[in-house]
A and B are shown apart, each in its own frame.
Chain A
Amino acid sequence: MSITFTKNKWEGPKGVFIVSPDLCKGCGLCIEKCPSQVIDWTKETGIYGTPIVGAKRIDRCTACSICVLVCPDAAIDVEKNKM
C-alpha cells in the first residue's frame, strides 16, 4: 500500500520546492540551515497544529537540497529542473 501526502508547491528558477503539511511539525531547523534564506514561516498549520514553513523567497532558491537533508520529518522535497 502506497501512502501519499499532500503537497504545497513553489516553483522557482532552479527547481520546485515542496512541503507536505501532513508531515511538517514546524521545528524551523530548515529555516536556519538554508544558505539563501529562501524558507520562512507561513500562515498554514501542519499536523501538530503549528505553523509550517514555505518558500517565501523562491526566486533565490538554488535547489541545493540542504533543507531536504536537515528535515527530521522528511516533509521537504526539492525537484531540480532539468538543464
Chain B
Amino acid sequence: MKSMPDSWRRETKPHKFCPGCGHGLVLKALGMAMDRLKIADRTVFGVDIGCSLLAWDFFNADTIQTHHGRTVPVIIGAKRARPNLVGIAYMGDGGGYAIGSQHLINATMRNDRILIIIVNNTIYAMTGGQMAPTTLKGQKTETSSRGRDPKYEGFPLRGPEMVASFAPEGAYVARGSVSHVQRLARYLERGLENQLQDRGISVVEALSTCPTNWRTNAEDTWKFLEKEMTDYYPVGELVSPFKRDTQKEAADLETCH
C-alpha cells in the first residue's frame, strides 16, 4: 500500500492542516479514488472557505478556491462549460449545510453531474470552534458553553438524509467516516464513477476529526468519532444507482479497516 497517493502534490507536503485533522484522511481517500480511476489530469477541484481551503495546493489537479458556500455553483459552471471535466466540490459542514445549503439543495434538484464532498467535524473549526448545524446534542463549543440544547438551538442536521429524501433518479448519496478510510475511498470512487457515467449528482459526507477544537487527545478523538458521532450519523450508502451485490459488499466490509 502506498502511503501517499500519486495524485497528491508531494512538493506541498507536509500539508497545512493541524496534527490529527481528518481532512488529511478524507483527501487521502479521495486521492486513492482518483488514482484508481486515473482522472487527476482532468479534474477540477473546488475548495470552500474554512479549513477545507487549506487543500488549495493539495492535488496535482486544477484547483479553485471560492466564496463561502459557493463551491457547488462554481464547479457546476466549470462542468457545464466543459462536460468532459470531472468536477469535485470540497467543503466543510459550515459551507455545505449552513451558508451553502441552498446550493446543495438546488444542485441535487437539478441533478448536476458533480461530486460534492462535505467534511463533517461538528464545528466551525477555522474560526475557533463555534457551534455548527451538525454540532451534537450536549456538545460543548465556543458558542454553546453549556452544551447544545435542542430546545433553543435545534437538533443536529443529518445532511445526506436530507438530500436523500428528494434525490432524483441516478443520484448517489452516502456517508463515510475517516475511521474507515478504505470504505470512504470506495464511496468516493462510486461517486466519481456515477459522474463519469453521466448518471447524476453524487453527495458524500465524511465524518471527520478536529482534535484542536474538540480539545481531545488521540484516544478521545477516536472515541468521539467512532462512538458519539457514528451513533447519531450512521455510516453507509443512502441512495445508490449501482446494482447491489450484497455478498461482495459483506466481503468488502470484512477486509476494510
Interface size (B, Cβ < 8 Å)? 29
**A window 55-83: CB within 8 A of B:** 65-66, 68-78
- Contact size class for A? 20 to 34
* Contacts A33-B222, A69-B1 given; does A27 touch B20 at CB 8 Å: yes
Which of B14, B23, B28, B211 is the one whose CB lies under 8 Å from A23?
A: B14
Question: Once the chains bind, are A65 and B11 in contact (CB under 8 Å)?
Answer: no
- A74 with B22, Cβ < 8 A, contacts A32-B218, A66-B257 known: no
Q: Which residues of A contact B197 (CB under 8 A)?
A: none
CB interface residues, B 1-58, toward A, < 8 Å? 1, 3-4, 8, 10-11, 13-15, 17-25, 28
Contact partner of A73 among B1, B15, B211, B257, CB < 8 A? B15
Nearest B residue (CB) for A27: B20
Known contacts A29-B221, A69-B1: does B17 contact A74 (CB below 8 Å)? Answer: no
A-chain residues with CB within 8 Å of residue B11 when the two chains form the complex: 1, 3
**A2 located at the interface, meaning its Cβ lies under 8 Å from any Cβ of chain B in the complex:** yes
State the Cβ distance, B60 to closest chain A Cβ, in Å.
Answer: 12
B182 contacts A by Cβ under 8 Å: yes
A40 contacts the other chain (CB 8 A): no
Nearest to A48 among chain B residues (CB) is: B19
Report the separation of the CA atoms of residues A68 and B5 in the bound assembly, to the nearest whole angstrom. 12
Given A69-B257, A72-B25, 5 extra CB contacts under 8 A: A2-B10, A27-B218, A50-B19, A72-B17, A72-B22
- By a beta-carbon cutoff of 8 Å, the part of chain A in contact with chain B is 1-3, 5, 22-23, 25-29, 31-33, 47-48, 50, 65-66, 68-78
Closest 9 CB pairs of A and B: A72-B24, A27-B20, A28-B218, A25-B19, A27-B19, A74-B4, A3-B10, A77-B3, A74-B3
